[in-house]
């Protein structure tokens, strides 16, 4: 591959990432974000997974079909997530306001790590495995427990991306969701592969 071929290939991938981010923002806004963010993010991770696994499918058509198909189910997960995050926020607020509850800070941080780790793995698990409603949450939680380093990598990526967008806020509508989904999906696929290889080796022995 020549330099110009590589440059062209990079340009095409960059345009796809920008376009994918636009679709994510548009369809999230279509559901007023509260009801659009989960189905749009499921569609976003579906296509990101296809990029990483070199699966060629039309972006717009695939995004719309996934968004439409997963709208109701995705919002079921959204409601559960909103309630859990709200309870967690109330707990942190109570600990902050009441000094006698300070001993609960470390356990609450551990719970928060498990919750957000499960959320990191939720979308990759959702689009990579064919699982029932509650099984997806259970599997995402198990990956959080068995792959804490991946959760830390995802958190560091969020901090890094947040820092970059703080310096260049104009890049947010171009890359915010698609770039983050790329990192999260890539790290998750690596964890999935390690777990699968471990199962195979255990089965052989």
For position 189, what pLDDT does the model report?
A: 94
| Cα 88 from Cα 118, distance rounded (Å) | 14
Tokens of 142: 């198990």
Judged by DSSP in three states, 98 sits in coil
For position 137, what pLDDT does the model report?
A: 93
For position 87, what pLDDT does the model report?
A: 94
> Could you tell me if 111 and 89 are in contact, meaning their C-beta atoms sit under 8 angstroms apart?
no
Question: CA torsion angle for 144, 147, 149, 153 (degrees, to 10)?
Answer: -60
Q: Residue 72: left if φ>0, alpha if ψ -120 to 50, beta else—which one?
A: alpha
For position 10, what pLDDT does the model report?
A: 67
pLDDT above 80 for 9:
no
For position 19, what pLDDT does the model report?
A: 94
For position 142, what pLDDT does the model report?
A: 93
Q: pTM for this one?
A: 0.91
79-114 burial, b at 16+ Cβ within 10 Å, e below that, comes to eebeeeeeeeeebeeebeeeeeeeeeeeeeeeeeee
pLDDT tens column, 24-49: 999 999 988 899 999 999 999 999 99
| Cα 101 from Cα 125, distance rounded (Å) | 35
Length of the chain measured in residues? 205
Model confidence at 69, pLDDT cuts 50, 70, 90, reads very high
| Cα 124 from Cα 144, distance rounded (Å) | 12
> Could you tell me if 179 and 171 are in contact, meaning their C-beta atoms sit under 8 angstroms apart?
no
pLDDT tens column, 134-153: 999 999 999 999 989 999 99
For position 126, what pLDDT does the model report?
A: 96
């Amino acid at each position: 591959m020549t330099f110009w071929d590589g440059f062209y290939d990079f340009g095409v991938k960059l345009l796809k990432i920008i376009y994918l981010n636009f679709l994510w923002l548009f369809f999230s806004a279509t559901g007023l974000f509260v009801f659009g963010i989960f189905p749009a993010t499921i569609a976003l991770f579906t296509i990101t997974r296809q990029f990483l696994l070199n699966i060629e499918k039309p972006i717009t058509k695939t995004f719309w079909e996934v968004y439409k198909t997963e709208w109701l189910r995705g919002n079921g997960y959204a409601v559960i997530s909103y309630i859990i995050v709200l309870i967690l926020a109330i707990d942190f607020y109570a600990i902050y306001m009441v000094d006698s509850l300070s001993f609960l800070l470390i356990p609450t941080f551990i719970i928060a790590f498990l919750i957000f780790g499960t959320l990191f793995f939720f979308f990759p698990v959702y689009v990579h495995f064919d699982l029932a409603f509650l099984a997806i949450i259970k599997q995402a939680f198990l990956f959080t427990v068995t792959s804490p380093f991946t959760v830390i990598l995802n958190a560091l990526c969020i901090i890094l991306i947040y820092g970059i967008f703080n310096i260049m806020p104009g890049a947010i509508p171009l890359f915010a969701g698609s770039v983050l989904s790329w990192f999260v999906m890539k790290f998750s696929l690596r964890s999935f592969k390690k777990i699968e290889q471990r199962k195979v080796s255990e089965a052989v022995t």
